[in-house]
A and B are shown apart, each in its own frame.
Chain A
Amino acid sequence: MRELTFVEAAREGLAEEMARDGRVFVVGEGIGARGGNFNTTLGLYELYGEERLRDTPISERGFTTLCTGAAATGSRPIVDFMFIDFLTDAFGDLFNQTAKLQWMSNGRLKMPIVLRGCIGVAPQFGAHHSGNYYPFFVHIPGFRVVVPTTPADAKGLLKTAIRCDDPVLFLEHKALLNLKGPVPDGEYLIPFGQATVARQGQHVTVVGIAYMVKEALRAAEQLAAEGISVEVIDPRTLAPLDMDTILASVHKTGRLLIVDEDYAPCGMAAEIAMQVMERGFDDLDAPVQRLNGAFIPAPYSDAFAPGLVPDAASIAAAIRQLLAE
C-alpha cells in the first residue's frame, strides 16, 4: 500500500470532498494561495479560488460564527484554525449557537461545519500554541470530536466529518502531522464511534488519546520484551465514544490505564473510568489508572520539558505499577 504523511492523507480527503461538493469551502488565516501553515490546503486555491478557500482577517470569533451562519443556510464550511488554541476566542458562539441551533430549531436547521486545527504540546511552542481543549467539546451536547492518529484514519475521518450534518471538531496532533503510514487507494470513509485496537494484548488495556496512542504503542513494544502483553486502544473519536470496544478489552485484561496528554480534572480519563465503573466494574482486577499531562500551561524552556506529558517510559512505568496491583 502507498505511504502518505498524516497531512497529505487529510489533504487528499479534503480535495476529494471539495471536488465532490461545491458547497464545501474553507476559511482560515493563510489557507488560500499560501496553502495553510501546516499545508492543510496546499494546491487547492489554484483549483477552487478564493470563494472556496477564503483567507480571513484574524477574527476567530467572527469567522467561526460566520461559518455557523453559512452552515445553517446551506453551505458546508471548514474552519481551519491552524492552532486550535485560536478557537478559544469563539467558545461562546460555538457553545451557544453552533452546538445548539439544530436542537433549538427542532431539527430544521443542520449544522455541517468542521472545526479543524492542531492540538498538543510540542517542544517549546509555549502556552498559546499547545492546547488540547477536547474535553470542553465532549462535555457540551451537540458536538462530535475526532482525534485521528494515523494517515489512513485522518483521511477517512475527515471525509466523514465533511459529510456530517453536525459540528465536528477535527483535531490533529502536531507530532503526528509528518508521520507516514499506509493509506488505501480510492475513496473510503471511516464512521464515527468506532475505536480500533491498535495492538492486541492480554494483560492490560491502555486507551491512548490522540498522539498518546503512539507513545503507548512504543511502551507496549518495550514491555513485550519483559513478557508483558499490552492491548492499545485508539478511540479515534471522543464524541461519540466507542465504549463497547474499551469494555470488551477490559473484560479480557481486567486492567485499564488511560493515557491523555491533556489535563486530568474532568478529562477523558475521568469519563472513561466512570463509564467502566458503571458498565464493567466486575471485570476490573485493579483500580483504573490514568496518566495525564502536567496541570500547568505549556512552558517554553526545554528545561521544563521532562515530565510535561506522558511518554513511552512513563507509560511503561505506569503499566508495570498497574500490573503489580
Chain B
Amino acid sequence: MDPALKEVWLALLRTMLMIRRCEEQLVKFYAAGAIRGGCHTYIGQEAVAAGVCAHLRPDDVVFSTHRGHGHALAKGVTPHELMAELLGKATGCSGGRGGSMHLFKPEVGFMGSSGIVGPCITLAAGGGYTARLLKTDRVSVAFFGDGAVNNGAFHEGLNMAAAWQLPVIFVCENNLYATEVPFVKATRNPSVASRGQAYGLPGLEVDGNDVVAVYQAAGEAVRRARAGDGPTLLECRTYRIRAHSEGMREVGYRTPDEVNAWKARCPITLFEQRLLQDGVADQLEIERIEAEVGAIIADAARFAEESPKPDPATVADHLYSQTGFHHA
C-alpha cells in the first residue's frame, strides 16, 4: 500500500479512537457527577466526523450540533480542552461558558456546536458565503442529525447554498432517531439524500459506519466545493449507541436487539478488521495507536480535573466586543 495512504488510514483510526476513548471518559465523569446537564455522546458515529474532517484544513470551518464532541475533536479541539469544558473549567475550549453543547475553537475552524437543532445548517451556509466573498477556497461544513432535516433551516439553508453555489458540505448523520422520535414517524420520505435533488444539489447516501466510505464521499464533496462547483448533501446512515443524553431513560423507543445489531457494526472494530485483513496494519501497530490515544485521554482527564474554575468576576466579559456598553 502507498505509505501516504496508509498514513491517512491510520490517522482515521486514531481520530475515531480519540473520540471513543474521550467519550468513555466523559461518561465516567458524568456518572461521578462531575458533568451536569446535557451530555450527548457520539459513540457509534465516530466514522462520520473522522471521515469528513480528514479532508479539512484549519481554515475550513465546521458548524456542529448538540452531539458535537466528535466533530470538535476531529476538527482539532484537544481532548484536554473538551474535557475541561465539560467539567466547567477555565481551560475549557469555551472557558467554561459553554459546556457540552457550546464548544468553540475558531482558531482551528471549529465555529461552535449548538443546543438548538437546525441553525448549524444556515450558519454553515454563511461560512460558505464568507469563503466566496473573500475569494478563498475554504469550505464550510454543517454536521447535523436526522432531527434537523425536518426543520425549516434545512430547507432554507440548502436552497440558498445551492442557489448561490456556496462551498458547503451538509453532513446529515441519520442515526434514525430525533431524540427518541423515529425518523420514519417524522417524515414520509425516509431518504435524506434524495432531498438534495429538490434543491438542485447532489445528495449521496453512504454507510456512516464505514469510515472509508465516508472518507471517499466527503473527499469528492470537499473537492467540488473548493473548485467552486457548489454544495453537496451527504447522508451518513449510522446509529448512536448510548442514550440521547447521559442519564436519560433508554426504554420505549428502541429494542435491545436493534442496539446490539448496531453495536456489532462498530465503526472502529469494522475498520480495524479491514486494516488487518487488507494487510495495511498489523495488530502491533493498532495496539500502539490504542496505547498512544489511551495515554492522551488519561492525561486530558487529569488536566481537566486539575484545571482551575473560571473567575466568576469575568462572567459578563465578551458579551460585547467592547466593554462599557452594558445598559442593564
* B97-A97 in contact (CB<8A): no
Cα distance A74–B133 when bound, in Å?
A: 10
Q: Which residues of B contact A240 (CB under 8 A)?
A: 325-327
CB distance from B280 to the nearest CB of A (A): 37
CB distance from B249 to the nearest CB of A (A): 27
Given A51-B132, A73-B140, the answer on whether A66 and B157 have CB atoms closer than 8 Å is: yes
* A164-B140 in contact (CB<8A): no
* A108 lies within 8 A of chain B by Cβ: yes
* A104-B156 in contact (CB<8A): no
CB distance from A56 to the nearest CB of B (A): 7
Cα distance A216–B319 when bound, in Å?
A: 34
Chain A positions within 8 Å of B, measured between CB atoms, are 22-23, 25, 51-52, 54, 56-57, 59, 61-63, 65-75, 77, 92-93, 96-97, 101-111, 138, 141-142, 144, 164-166, 192-193, 239-241, 243
* A104-B94 in contact (CB<8A): yes
User: How many cross-chain pairs have Cβ atoms below 8 Å apart between A and B?
Assistant: 164
Cα distance A80–B155 when bound, in Å?
A: 21
Chain B positions within 8 Å of A, measured between CB atoms, are 61, 63, 94-95, 97-98, 102, 104-107, 111-112, 114-116, 119, 122-127, 129-134, 140, 152-153, 155-157, 159-160, 163-164, 317-322, 325-328
Cα distance A144–B322 when bound, in Å?
A: 12
Q: A69-B63, A239-B327 are in contact. List 10 more A-B contacts (CB 8 A).
A: A57-B156, A57-B160, A62-B125, A68-B126, A69-B130, A72-B111, A75-B133, A97-B119, A103-B319, A166-B325
Q: Which residues of B contact A69 (CB under 8 A)?
A: 63, 111, 122-127, 129-130, 140
Q: Which residues of B contact A107 (CB under 8 A)?
A: 317-318, 321
CB distance from B84 to the nearest CB of A (A): 12
Q: Contact check: which of A25, A63, A108, A166 meets B104 at CB < 8 Å?
A: A108
Given A69-B129, A97-B116, the answer on whether A61 and B319 have CB atoms closer than 8 Å is: no
Cα distance A52–B317 when bound, in Å?
A: 32
Q: Which residues of A contact B97 (CB under 8 A)?
A: 103-106
* A70-B317 in contact (CB<8A): no
Q: Contact check: which of B116, B130, B160 meets A75 at CB < 8 Å?
A: B130
* A72-B126 in contact (CB<8A): yes
Q: Which residues of B contact A67 (CB under 8 A)?
A: 126, 129
Q: Which residues of A contact B156 (CB under 8 A)?
A: 57, 59, 61-63
* A62-B327 in contact (CB<8A): no
* B102-A104 in contact (CB<8A): yes
Q: Contact check: which of A51, A70, A104, A241 meets B112 at CB < 8 Å?
A: A104
CB distance from A196 to the nearest CB of B (A): 17
* B159-A92 in contact (CB<8A): no
Cα distance A99–B97 when bound, in Å?
A: 14
CB distance from B328 to the nearest CB of A (A): 8
* A165-B160 in contact (CB<8A): no
A-B contact pairs, 25 of them (CB 8 A): A23-B133, A56-B160, A57-B159, A57-B160, A62-B125, A63-B122, A63-B160, A65-B157, A67-B129, A69-B122, A69-B129, A70-B127, A72-B106, A74-B130, A77-B129, A103-B97, A103-B318, A103-B319, A104-B97, A105-B318, A109-B112, A111-B321, A141-B319, A141-B328, A240-B325
* A164-B321 in contact (CB<8A): yes
Cα distance A241–B325 when bound, in Å?
A: 9
Q: Contact check: which of A23, A59, A63 meets B134 at CB < 8 Å?
A: A23
Cα distance A267–B209 when bound, in Å?
A: 53
Cα distance A62–B320 when bound, in Å?
A: 24
* A104-B326 in contact (CB<8A): no
* B320-A142 in contact (CB<8A): yes
Which residue, of B133, B159, B160, B318, has the highest number of chain A Cβ atoms within 10 A? B133
Cα distance A51–B320 when bound, in Å?
A: 28
CB distance from B114 to the nearest CB of A (A): 7
CB nearest neighbor in A for B107: A108
* B112-A105 in contact (CB<8A): yes
Which residue, of B95, B105, B123, has the highest number of chain A Cβ atoms within 10 A? B123
* B320-A72 in contact (CB<8A): no
Cα distance A63–B320 when bound, in Å?
A: 23
Cα distance A108–B61 when bound, in Å?
A: 14
Q: Contact check: which of B132, B134, B325 meets A144 at CB < 8 Å?
A: B325
CB nearest neighbor in B for A63: B160
Q: Which residues of A contact B61 (CB under 8 A)?
A: 73
CB distance from B268 to the nearest CB of A (A): 31
Q: Which residues of B contact A193 (CB under 8 A)?
A: 325, 327
Cα distance A68–B129 when bound, in Å?
A: 11
Cα distance A73–B140 when bound, in Å?
A: 10
CB distance from A246 to the nearest CB of B (A): 12
Q: Which residues of B contact A105 (CB under 8 A)?
A: 94, 97-98, 104, 106, 112, 318
* B319-A68 in contact (CB<8A): no
Cα distance A222–B105 when bound, in Å?
A: 59
Q: Which residues of A contact B328 (CB under 8 A)?
A: 141
CB distance from A204 to the nearest CB of B (A): 24
* B104-A104 in contact (CB<8A): yes
